[in-house]
Structures are given as C-alpha cells and as structure tokens.
Amino acid sequence: MARRFLPILASQLLIFFFMSSFSTTPVTGEDGGFARRLDRKLLGLKKEKLSHFRFYWHDIVSGSNPSAVLVVPPASNTSTAFGLVTMIDDPLTLGPKLSSKLVGKAQGFYASASQQELGLLMVMNFAFLEGKYNGSSITILGRNAVFSAVREMPVIGGSGLFRFARGYVQASTHSADFKTGDAVVEYNVYVFHY
Ligand SMILES: *[C@@H]1O[C@H](CO)[C@@H](O)[C@H](O)[C@H]1NC(C)=O
Ligand SMILES: *[C@@H]1O[C@H](CO)[C@@H](O)[C@H](O)[C@H]1NC(C)=O
C-alpha cells in the first residue's frame, strides 16, 4: 500500500516545487505587458556618482520684486507663524551676492510647521540653469529649523542628470535682515546620481 503511494507522492511534491519555484522567480519577461525587468544600460545608467554643489539661496520678501510671496497667512497669532505658506522662486547664485552668477532657481514653497520654534517644511525643486546641468533638477523635502546653525534636509529625487538622485543638503544662514525679512542662505548639496 505504502509502496504504491510513494511514486504518487513524489510526483505531487515535484509539481508542488515546480509551481512554487514559478511564483518566487522574479519577473524577467513580460507580465501581461504591464511590468518587466530592465537592464540599467538600456536607460544609459552607468556608474553612480557622488557630487557636491555649493551655492547661495536668496529669499527676497521685501521690495517691489520679491522672489518669495506669502500665499497663506498664519492660521493663528503665534510667534512661530504656524500655518504660514510662502511660495518661492528664489535665485541660486554662485556667490553670496545676488549679482553673482545665477546657477538656478529654487522653486516651491515653505510652510511654518512648528508651534514650538520657527520650523519650516521646505518643499522645493532646485532647477539648474548652469552648463550641462541646465534643465535638470533636484527635489528637496525636509525640515528647516531656521535658527539652527546647520539644517539638514533630504534630496528625495531629481530629473535629467539627477534621475534616481538621493542625498541631502546642508543649509546655513549667510545673512538675514530682520527688518526686511530678506535672507541669504548657503546651500551645500551632496547627491548620488548617474
Ligand atoms: C496677537 O497677540 C498679541 C500678543 O498676545 C496681541 O497684542 C495682538 O493683538 C494679537 N493679534 C491678533 C490679530 O490677534
Ligand atoms: C538653458 O537652457 C535654456 C533652454 O534650453 C536656454 O534657453 C538657456 O540659454 C540655457 N542657459 C544656459 C546658461 O546655458
């Protein structure tokens, strides 16, 4: 009895392993035309590089031609301006002077997201204009406690030369005019990209 069952059991096991090996095999071919594995060379992705960029971010809220505009006033009367949203198209320059070479624009917004201190949520794209980086961008999303000496924020992605980008930025205030609200901030960007 047992001897007659054994071959049946063995063949069932074989089928079982055959089926389960199918389900754990990664998708190599097509999956109903919806998803497929791709050789990274087909996208022109060679060796991953680490780059460092340094420039100055100009937040101009005063005067007749501001680069930063308040779009949502603070929700309540708090010292941290909690709820404020400011839209920016801030120049990024090589040196700390606004008249120095323009290398890009910081486009996005910052919002006051802390009730305890001045802590901003930064959501911005650095749209580069300089040399081979012209037309490429990186995206920053992070927390900016503006009175800290160095604020670190993640680079969460990018476009063009910065496809698959990841990294971080360090921001430190170069100068701030408390009368006008204008500020110049040094940005150091460390980013992995192809
Ligand atoms: C905001 O708070 C300050 C200090 O408590 C008060 O003097 C001022 O009137 C308040 N402003 C508004 C718009 O509520
Ligand atoms: C950047 O690219 C734009 C659009 O192609 C072009 O008009 C502009 O002159 C370029 N700027 C630099 C500095 O190369």
CA distance 133 to 176: 29
Give the pLDDT score at 75: 86
**Residue 67 predicted with pLDDT over 80:** yes
Question: Residue 43 belongs to what H/E stretch?
Answer: none
Give the pLDDT score at 11: 55
Q: 112, 74 in Cβ contact below 8 A? A: yes
Smallest CA-to-CA distance from 146 within 125, 180, 117 is with 117
Q: Where are the domains of the chain?
A: 46-193
Atom of ligand 2 nearest to the CA of 131: 14
Q: What percent of the chain has pLDDT over 90?
A: 78
Q: What is the mean pLDDT of residues 6-26?
A: 49
Nearest CA, atom 1, ligand 2: 134
CA distance 101 to 96: 10
Q: Pick the range with the lowest mean pLDDT from 1-15, 29-43, 149-163.
A: 1-15
Residues in the chain: 194
pLDDT, tens digit (0-9, with 9 covering 90-100), for 161-191: 999 999 999 999 999 999 999 999 999 999 9
pLDDT, tens digit (0-9, with 9 covering 90-100), for 120-141: 999 999 999 999 999 999 999 9
- The top-level CATH class assigned to 46-193 is mainly beta
pTM of the predicted model as reported, rounded to 2 decimal places: 0.81
Q: Pick the range with the lowest mean pLDDT from 18-27, 123-132, 151-160, 172-181.
A: 18-27
* Ligand 2 binding site (Cβ under 6 Å of any ligand atom): 129-130, 134-135
Instruction: Indicate the top mutation candidate among 93, 105, 132, 134 to test ligand 2's pocket, ranked by most ligand atoms within 8 A of CB.
Output: 134
**Residue 17 predicted with pLDDT over 90:** no
